[in-house]
Amino acid sequence: MKKHNFSAGPAVLPQEAIENGAKAVLDFDGTGLSILTVSHRSKEFEAVMDETEALFRELLNIPEGYHVLFLGGGASTQFYMVPFNLLETKAGYVNTGVWSKKAIKEAKAFGGVEVLASSDDKNFSYIPKGFAIPSDLDYLHITTNNTIFGTEYKVDLDSPVPLVADMSSDILSRPVDVSKYSLIYGGAQKNLAPAGVTFVIVKDSILGKVTRHLPTMIDYRTHIENGSMFNTPPVFPIFVMRETLRWLKGLGGVEKMYEINKKKAQLLYDEIDRNKVFKGTAAVEDRSLMNICFVPADGYENLYDEFMDFAKKRGMVGIKGHRLVGGFRASTYNALPIESVQALVDCMQEFEKLHA
């Protein structure tokens, strides 16, 4: 039976990236060594690192004056690495869910934090808009896509202060004007690679302004000066990231990916809105293209376990909602084929016929 992987992360990857990664585990680039054992200082792996960065820059159209880093520690490490490097007096944060709250908590250890807007009042079902951004902030931090609650920014904010964004779960899924951001970071285990590597896009001009002592590993400049190789980088995830970026470029780049992602999301949202057994949870205008959240409709709450079992028997994997919110969540990341979304829609329609 074919499996349809809707997991929120680690998540689906392009089949060719997986196959090329598997080959490299046995023999990396004809070296006779596994990618799992090759030196990160070897010329063969340095070529991988260089190409990965070049593809990342090309696909995101990253302007001059920015560095791209591939680090360990996940986005959760960036929650404190960002304020360590940037927060001198006061920073602004927008609270759109669990990951925003974690970032806010870490930042409070380094200085003043002002929560400029929050969607907590409606269980994070929407993206706050129209809030004031004070001009005296060191930076403004947002989470562009909220995996747990299924909401997403649809446009790049115009900010009078440096804009920092956690793009863990929607990087390369839609066009982004990188020039509007001073720092973009994220874990790669959604749209890019296996868990283990974190990407950082940082504008050079925002660094070196805080007066506090920065431990060597926490200072972005350390990793810039050493080409992301101050310590051993996550070699295998970076290799698979390169393969994923090659796949994306071959597909037609971010613009083409965006077209496909909109079709996938619309297909599933249309079914959620039509189907009598299910209902969506996010505000329509803020619905995520990457994480589609829904619950049993009123009067059908007792069917949750039955649908989970029904869907599992038809090859659906990873559609259980996050433990904090329940319900269902279908993560439709870049590498998920539209055929998998159609299979879930067919499953929902079949289930409706049994109960509605």
pLDDT in tens, 191-238: 999 999 999 999 999 999 999 999 999 999 999 999 999 999 999 999
pLDDT of residue 339: 98
pLDDT of residue 356: 80
Cα 283 from chain centre: 20
- Would you say 276 and 270 are in contact if contact means Cβ atoms under 8 Å apart? no
Average pLDDT of each block of 10 consecutive residues along the chain (356 residues)? Answer: 96 98 97 97 96 98 98 97 98 98 98 97 97 98 97 97 98 98 98 98 98 97 97 98 98 98 98 98 98 97 97 97 91 98 98 94
Q: Is 166 a catalytic residue?
A: yes
For residue 295, the surrounding DSSP H or E stretch is strand 291-296
pTM above the 0.95 mark? yes
- Which position among 99, 264, 286, 320 bears the catalytic label? 99
pLDDT of residue 152: 98
Strand partners of residue 184: 165, 201
Type of residue at 82 = V
Domains, the chain, in order of start with CATH, read: 15-251 (3.40.640.10), 253-355 (3.90.1150.10)
- Which position among 166, 170, 219, 286 bears the catalytic label? 166
Which DSSP category does 303 fall into? G
Angle between helices 338-355 and 304-312 in degrees, nearest 10: 130
Angle between helices 235-251 and 15-26 in degrees, nearest 10: 140
Between CA 39 and CA 306 the distance in angstroms is: 50
Q: Is 247 a catalytic residue?
A: no
Type of residue at 97 = G
- Would you say 153 and 171 are in contact if contact means Cβ atoms under 8 Å apart? no
pLDDT of residue 36: 98
Residue indicated by tokens 């059908």: 300
Tens-place pLDDT, residues 36-85: 999 999 999 999 999 999 999 999 999 999 999 999 999 999 999 999 99
- Which position among 121, 122, 129, 190 bears the catalytic label? 190
Q: How far is CA 247 from CA 16, 60, 213, 302, 339, in A?
A: 8, 14, 41, 42, 18
pLDDT of residue 266: 98
pLDDT of residue 95: 98
pLDDT of residue 325: 85
- Cα angle 221-57-199, degrees, rounded to a multiple of 5: 50
- Would you say 193 and 199 are in contact if contact means Cβ atoms under 8 Å apart? no
Q: List the end-to-end C-alpha distance of the chain, in Å, as a whole number.
A: 27
pLDDT of residue 116: 98
- Would you say 83 and 106 are in contact if contact means Cβ atoms under 8 Å apart? yes
